[in-house]
Amino acid sequence: MVDSFKVEPKSLGGYRYAVHLKELHSGYHYIDFTKGKEEVSLALTRRLKWIKTQSTLPVQVVIGDNGTELKVSYKESKEEGLAVFLNPPYTPQPRGIIEKAGMDIISLAKAALVEAGLPEFLWPWACKHSSLINNILPSHSNEGQQSPANKLCDSLGMTREDIKLDNLYTFGCRAYVLIPKELRSQKRKLAPNTEVGYLVGYVGFSSHIYEVYIPGRRKVVITRDVKFHENYQPKQGDGQKEPLEAVFNP
State pTM to two decimals.
0.86
Q: Give the pLDDT mean for 99-124.
A: 94
pLDDT tens-place string over residues 146-178? 999 888 888 776 665 556 677 889 999 999 999
Domain locations along the chain: 2-162, 174-240
pLDDT at 153: 83
User: Rounded to an integer, what is the distance from CA 232 to the centroid of its chain?
Assistant: 23
Which CATH number is associated with domain 2-162?
A: 3.30.420.10
Measured at the CA of 42, the angle between CA 40 and CA 45, to 5 degrees, comes to: 115
pLDDT at 20 exceeding the cut of 90 = yes
* Band (247; pLDDT cuts 50, 70, 90): very low
- With the C-alpha atoms ordered 140, 142, 145, 147, is the resulting torsion angle positive or negative? negative
In this structure, what DSSP letter does residue 39 have?
G
* Spatial distance between the Cα atoms of 153 and 151, rounded to a whole number of angstroms: 5
pLDDT of 37 higher than 80: yes
Task: Provide the percentage of residues in the chain whose pLDDT is more than 90.
Answer: 58
pLDDT of residue 176: 96
pLDDT digit string, tens, across residues 113-128 = 999 999 999 999 999 9
17 half-sphere exposure, CB direction, 13 A CA radius: 17
User: What does pLDDT average to over the chain?
Assistant: 86
Residues in contact with 90: Cβ distance below 8 Å, sequence separation at least 6, in sequence order: none
Q: Are 119 and 219 spatial neighbours (Cβ–Cβ below 8 Å)?
A: no
Q: Mean pLDDT throughout 209-218? A: 95
Q: Higher pLDDT residue, 200 or 143?
A: 200
Residues 17, 81: Cα–Cα separation, whole Å: 27
Q: What confidence category does residue 52 fall into, taking pLDDT thresholds of 50, 70 and 90? A: confident
